[in-house]
Chains A and B, each alone.
Chain A
Amino acid sequence: MIKRAAAIVAFLGLVCTLVPLVGEPAPTQAAPAMFGRVHESFQPQRGKIFVAVIGNDARSGNPDRALADAIHIVGINTKTMKAGVLNFPRDSWVNIPGQGSAKMNEALVRGGPQLVARTLESVTGIRIDYWVMTGFVGFENLIRQLNGVKMRIPTNVSDIGGSGAQLRAGVQRLKGYEALAYARTRKAFSGGDVARTTHQGDILVALVRKLRKETQRSPAALLRWIDVTRKNTRLDISANEMFRLGILASQVKAKDVGNVTVPVSLGSMGAASVVFISPGAHSIYARFKKNGSL
């Protein structure tokens, strides 16, 4: 009897010791957003940090190999605390490193977010430090858990058959599903994909504005943002780096964030309709690379 009791106590003791060492169980669901590092060693480029922001077209989960519907470079200058969002239409005809010429959104299918970042590097000459990727569900959840995002919609938007967006012009707080629909809408705009990518940049700027406003009111709000991001994120970078990036981002004023879409001309390549990035984009790349802001 005593022997059995002692064995049970010893077993429970062993479990109590080992369980805290194992830590929390890893999330089993596919994370709706991923955040990672492009290069092995992080080297701040004289106070400038560049992040590739990718939105894939996966309806659920966050697979590595899907088409990229949203492709942006976000830059922050840590000295001037100015920033920029450079938007690329997904159909931009570019050279994908090691893959030949193709639409930029195909880089994600062929080599995951890492290859998208490498493609952006080869197109712009800007060294990308991190990438962050989200899918439909991840984006919607992020916005929903952040209690929506307030932004100005330039015109009435109605795309019921497509993205499902139905929004009135003016300043409003978009819920998660509304923000997703607005970020996806292209047929409702004469500018098509170019207008869409600009609106995606507007959403990023609106998020910067929201982060700044909330952290000005209560600096600890940054921790809630990190929590929400982590809950919807598969992290490939250290949590400490994310905290530091968050501190930086919370210091940037929305008015100091330029939102620029690369100039393009419409064309076709075989049967596919594509856009060609205009040579004028090189001056934008050079400015962005030099200043870290637009």
Chain B
Amino acid sequence: MSLAAPSSRKPWLALVGVFALVALVAGVLLTDLPGKRLLSSGGLAGGSEGEVAEAVPQARWNITPAKTMSHATKAQSERVRRQRPRVTELVKSVYDAMFVHPDRLGATLDQSFRTEAARALRRSGAAVPASGLLRTTSRRAEIGIHSAGRPMFAIASVSLKAEPVDGSAEPLAHSSTLWMERSRNGWKIIAFQLKQGPETASKAGKSSKKPAKKKPARRK
């Protein structure tokens, strides 16, 4: 009896071992692959321009999450938690390509935008900064992610300030919204809206909206 037992245990143990191994490999694949894809979305700055751009100190990203679900289930929260780094990386890579590494813009558009959205951004030309290196002085983003079961959506509102390194032009103020969907190929930007102009103009615009209150003229 005692001799027969070990021979019946072995298949079970082998099954458990194989199962654990498969689960481990699947888990690693599922969690890591899209992230790696995103990290390489911009490609490496190959030219000297990329190297110089790396040397320019850039503002740190200030990224805050937006509340998007009132009573999320554990599964939804977990899905959102898992996707947050990927969406954040996507947003960062897009704005890095727009303002810090213009040489990466083409690749980033192809990889991160839906075809129509990429075409629209190219057509607008608004996101492409003036020639020369830019130093970002402020980079803020609010990112909301929603999980509707398997389909997931995200919205990022980004505001950014930058100035040319050589001081050849006025500082720039940029604010935009990105609407993103998660597809089989990872996160894609399906629509965007952006506003960009000289920082002084936007400040003037703000001040003109709220004129200083004047005291009512006294009647004589």
Residue ranges of A at the interface with B (Cβ–Cβ < 8 Å): 2-3, 6-7, 9-10, 13, 16-17, 20, 23-24, 145, 218-224, 226-228, 230-231, 238-240, 243-244, 247
Contact = CB atoms under 8 A, between A and B. Distances in A.
Contacts of A230: 148
Nearest to A226: B146
A221 B142 CA distance: 11
Interface residues of B, number: 38
Contacts, number: 92
Contact of A6 (B16, B71, B76, B144): B16
A240 B150 CA distance: 11
Contact of B142 (A2, A7, A145, A220): A220
Interface of B: 5, 8-9, 12-13, 15-16, 19-20, 23, 66-71, 73, 75-76, 142-146, 148-151, 153-157, 177, 179, 181, 190-191
Nearest to B183: A240
A224 B149 contact: no
19 contacts: A6-B12, A6-B13, A6-B15, A7-B12, A10-B19, A13-B16, A13-B20, A13-B23, A23-B75, A23-B149, A24-B76, A145-B70, A220-B156, A223-B66, A223-B145, A223-B155, A227-B146, A230-B148, A239-B149
A239 B148 CA distance: 7
A15 to B, nearest CB: 12
B190 to A, nearest CB: 7
Nearest to B177: A219
A156 B76 CA distance: 44
Contacts of A226: 146, 148, 153
A9 B151 CA distance: 32
Nearest to B145: A223
Nearest to A248: B191
Contacts of B179: 219, 243, 247
A220 B143 CA distance: 7
A219 B66 CA distance: 9
A3 B151 contact: no
Nearest to A10: B16
B142 A218 contact: yes
Contacts of B8: 3
Nearest to A23: B149
A228 to B, nearest CB: 7
A33 to B, nearest CB: 15
A23 B150 contact: yes
Contacts of B190: 244
Contact of B9 (A6, A10, A219): A6
B73 A24 contact: yes
A101 to B, nearest CB: 41
